[in-house]
């Protein structure tokens, strides 16, 4: 039984790695790696209270307090396991700006050097 479980786990891991490579290894094609989660907003439903925006921007380079999503101020930020900045925004405020069938959400902010940045992701929106 242990041997079977080990084989199944290894096969699942290999399939996951293969699928990730086949898809380019990333969910977004934005140069800054801006990826909004959830990818589908259901306007009639609470989806956890926060909209999370992942990036491929090193946390140490970002003036996190300057980050905004379509003009909405950042609620809080943190670092992912790769050292990149992740922003959290109020779900109700973000949903007030979007409409079906979809919307482009743009993350803006400043680097510690003073240089500004901007990256976008498209989300699906249903009533």
Q: What is the CATH number of domain 27-126?
A: 2.60.40
Domain spans in the chain, listed from the N-terminal domain onward: 27-126
User: Can you tell me the mean pLDDT for 8-21?
Assistant: 36
For residue 2, pLDDT over 60 is answered with no
Digit-coded pLDDT (tens) for 79-93:
999 999 999 999 999
d(CA 117, CA 28): 16
pTM of the model: 0.78
SS3 92: helix
- Taking alpha carbons only, the member of 115, 110, 123, 106 closest to residue 31 is 106
């Amino acid at each position: 039984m242990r041997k079977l479980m080990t084989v199944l786990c290894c096969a699942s891991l290999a399939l996951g790695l293969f699928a990730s490579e086949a898809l380019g290894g990333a969910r977004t094609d934005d140069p800054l790696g801006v990826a909004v989660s959830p990818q589908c907003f259901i306007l009639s439903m609470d989806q956890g209270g926060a909209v999370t925006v992942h990036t491929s921007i090193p946390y140490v380079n970002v003036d996190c307090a300057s980050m905004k999503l379509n003009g909405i101020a950042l609620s809080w930020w943190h670092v992912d396991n790769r050292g990149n900045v992740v922003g959290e925004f109020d779900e109700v405020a973000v949903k007030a700006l979007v409409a079906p069938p979809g919307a482009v959400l743009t993350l803006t902010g400043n680097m510690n050097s003073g240089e500004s940045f901007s990256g976008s992701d498209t989300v699906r929106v249903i009533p």
